[in-house]
Amino acid sequence: MSIRLKTKLSLGLVFLFIVIVLFGVLGLFYINRLSDEGRLVLKNNHESLVYCNHMMQALEELRTDKNAIATFRENLQKQQVNITEVGEKEATDELSTNFNEMLADPSDSSNYTDIRKSIIKIEDLNEMAIVRKNAIAQKTADGAKDVLTILFTILTLVAFTFIFNLPGIISGPISSLAEGIRAIAAKNYKKRIYLRQGDEFGELAEAFNTMAQKLDEYESSNLAQVKFEKSRIETIINQMRDGIIGLDEKRNILFLNAVAERLLGLKEANIAGQYAPDVAVSNDLMRTLLQEEPEKKELKIYADNKESYFSKDVLDVTNNEKMIGQVIVLRNITLFHELNEAKTNFIATVSHELKTPISSIKMSARLLSDLRVGALNSEQQELIRSITDDSNRLLKITGELLNLSQVETGQIQLKLQPASPAEIVEQAIQAVSFQAQQKHIRIHTSFTENLPRIQADVEKTSWVLINFLTNAIKYSPEDSGIEVSACRKKDTVEFVVKDQGRGIDEKYLPRIFERYFKVPGTHDRNGTGLGLSISKEFIEAQGGHIWVHSRLGEGSRFGFTFSVF
């Protein structure tokens, strides 16, 4: 029956623990024993020798020192209570008798010799006791040395046994397992480990062999399929019209497809495995692609013998929520760009061509309504008003389309000059005053005193305010009011138009400045959905900031800010 590795280690550690405890207990036992014996020698026999020495000295000084008798008596009393050896009591009593006789006749010195003999006898008894006890202590020390030497020898043999056997028990199987793991890492799935052990290492070897067998089966069955799929994916990537660049987690280049090679002017075989920022040092397009931009921007690249347009997408490749690489995709949007440019040119051309006939229609309607030409009946006047309204609406739409064409082509023509915020507001209010009167809407103005001048295009800024006011009038109920304000906030001037309409749901506010967007439920059939988008472009082109705050049932506040000139 094989012993488990855990059991082996546990038994070894338990044995070592027992030996350590035994060694410690024996050591403490013998140390305490020697300490007790030595303490008895010091406490009893040594003290008696000290008392005898003091009495002998006092005896010699009886004739010269008055305190000698007191000293002798004091040490005699101490000796009388420190009797520990056989015969020591009789010698002490004899000394006491002789001392008393001397005290009866201090001038008689005949008994000095007897006193000395008694003291010497006490000293001899204690010295002999010290020698005897020292011999006992030495014997104890020798016994302790023998026992501890034997125990130390056993421990040394056991330690050497552990030193030579335990590392082999553990390191041998571990080395075999490490060798097998290295073989598996090198894709040698034929490797097997054979350990004739019934412990945990044996089980680990069996599990390793099972894993290697499964990997071998998986490799054999899927290798051809994986190679086929890889070849097919490479073919698909190379046939795409988009440029594709693959990077690993350390931004080393993994692959380029044919389009990316053509755009970068590099070959995959020459740069595969290189650090992408190092390649970007000598390649402008690669440097542009590696830059992290907050917004997607079109890239103009000369390709296919013409200026082409591409958009960049960076896709993170993850495995178990850990990024293991990136794929940069250059999407060819040249066709869409050309179509958009054609659309813009068409809109600009049509809008420009429509403006003249619409203006003529409007002028003709105005002439027909002039009484000097002739009186019109009520039905004719209604038709003239309808023609005038439609002409104004068409002129507004064509104007917005022309502005949109400027925005899309990036050719917004600005005439920046110092301007008074109050004059811009008054100009906008005058332009919509007639519309406001028709709905009986009052327009209130509010200005901060001593407003500074701003650097702005007066015409386009007034157009934005007019657009705000037109929308406010359109969505405000009759007999209500609109507030227009211009005030200074730190280093900016803020223009605000506030109405009392139904307001805008908060979920639509992020899209309110998008092109062609109309808030659902407004039933606005006359608008194009371009006014606010163009307003945003006009304000931002001048370095300003446009915004909106609104909640259902609380009206809306549209505004923009300019830096102080």
Give residue 549's pLDDT.
93
pLDDT in tens for each of the 565 residues of the chain? 455 656 666 766 776 777 777 767 776 676 766 666 555 555 678 888 888 888 888 878 877 777 888 888 888 888 888 888 888 888 888 888 888 888 877 666 777 888 888 888 888 888 888 888 777 777 877 777 787 788 778 777 877 776 676 666 666 677 777 777 777 777 776 777 766 666 666 667 777 777 777 777 776 666 556 666 666 776 777 667 788 888 888 888 888 888 888 888 888 888 888 888 888 888 888 888 888 765 556 777 877 777 787 888 888 888 877 888 888 888 877 777 666 665 556 555 655 556 667 677 767 777 667 666 667 777 777 777 777 766 766 666 666 565 655 555 555 667 889 999 999 999 999 988 888 998 999 999 999 888 899 999 888 898 899 889 999 998 899 999 999 999 998 889 999 999 998 899 888 898 998 877 888 866 555 566 778 888 888 888 888 999 999 998 889 999 999 988 6
Answer whether 495's CB lies under 8 Å from 559's CB.
Answer: yes
Output the 3-class SS for 9-48.
HHHHHHHHHHHHHHHHHHHHHHHHHHHHHHHHHHHHHHHH
For residues 536 and 546, the answer to whether their CB atoms sit within 8 Å is yes
Name the β-bridge partners of 329: 244, 313
- Domain 240-332 in CATH: superfamily? PAS domain (3.30.450.20)
In 3D space, the residue among 482, 455, 472, 468 whose CA is nearest the CA of residue 564 turns out to be: 455
* CA 175 vs CA 193, 202, 371: distances in Å: 11, 13, 113
Helix, strand and coil percent figures for the chain, each rounded to 5: 60, 15, 25
Are the C-beta atoms of 72 and 116 separated by less than 8 Å? Answer: no
Structure-token match 């693959």, residue found? 246
Signed CA dihedral, 233, 238, 242, 248: sign only: positive
Instruction: State the Cα–Cα distance between residues 376 and 387, nearest whole angstrom.
Output: 14
DSSP 485-540: EEEEETTEEEEEEE--S----GGGGGGTTSTT---TT----S--S-HHHHHHHHHH
- 530 backbone dihedrals φ, ψ, rounded to 5°: -110, -20
The residue ranges of every structural domain in the chain are 5-171, 240-332, 338-407, 413-563
8 Å CB contact between 77 and 96: no
What is the pLDDT at residue 356? 67
Q: How far apart are CA 461 and CA 154, in angstroms?
A: 102
245: left (phi over 0), alpha (psi -120 to 50) or beta: beta
Question: Of 13, 14, 16, whose CA–CA distance to 155 is shortest?
Answer: 16
Query: Taking the mean position of all CA atoms in its chain, how far away is CA 133?
Result: 75
From residue 285, alpha-carbon distances to 41, 154, 263, 290, 332 in Å are: 99, 78, 8, 9, 15
**Residue 275 per-residue DSSP state:** B
* Global model pTM greater than 0.75: no
Cα separations in angstroms, 130 against 33, 46, 116, 134, 446: 16, 8, 21, 6, 118
Q: What is the pLDDT of residue 443?
A: 93
Given 2.60.40.10, 3.40.50.20, 3.30.565.10, 3.40.50.720, which CATH number is that of 413-563? 3.30.565.10
What is the model's pLDDT at position 424?
92
> How much is the pLDDT for 393?
65
